Amino acid sequence: MGTILVEMDGKEKRVEVKGKKVRVDRLLEELGLFPETAVLVRDGELLCDDDFVNDGEKVKVIVATSKG
């Protein structure tokens, strides 16, 4: 089992995942977000849905909002 540190809305929380890594789209689903509405950033780099986040890493979630 692994742990990912997630920053979202200025708050940090630990997310437990099965295994030592998790795909970005699966992590977003674990957070209750649709992959089409949010992105993950790791060390200033935008991650694609099929990229992996490894145990112990920190990522930032940016949720897209519509102001239309």
Query: Where are the chain's structural domains?
Result: 2-63
- Contact (Cβ atoms closer than 8 angstroms) between residue 2 and residue 53: no
Tokens of residue 26, six digits: 């699966």
Q: What percent of the chain has pLDDT over 70?
A: 96
**66 in helix, strand or coil?**
coil
What's this model's pTM, rounded to 2 decimal places?
Answer: 0.88
**Which regions of the chain does DSSP assign to beta strands (E)?**
2-8, 11-17, 21-23, 38-42, 45-47, 52-54, 58-63
2-34 pLDDT per residue, tens: 999 999 999 999 999 889 999 999 999 999 999
Query: Per the CATH hierarchy, to which homologous superfamily does domain 2-63 belong?
Result: Beta-grasp domain (3.10.20.30)
What value does the mean pLDDT of the chain take?
A: 93
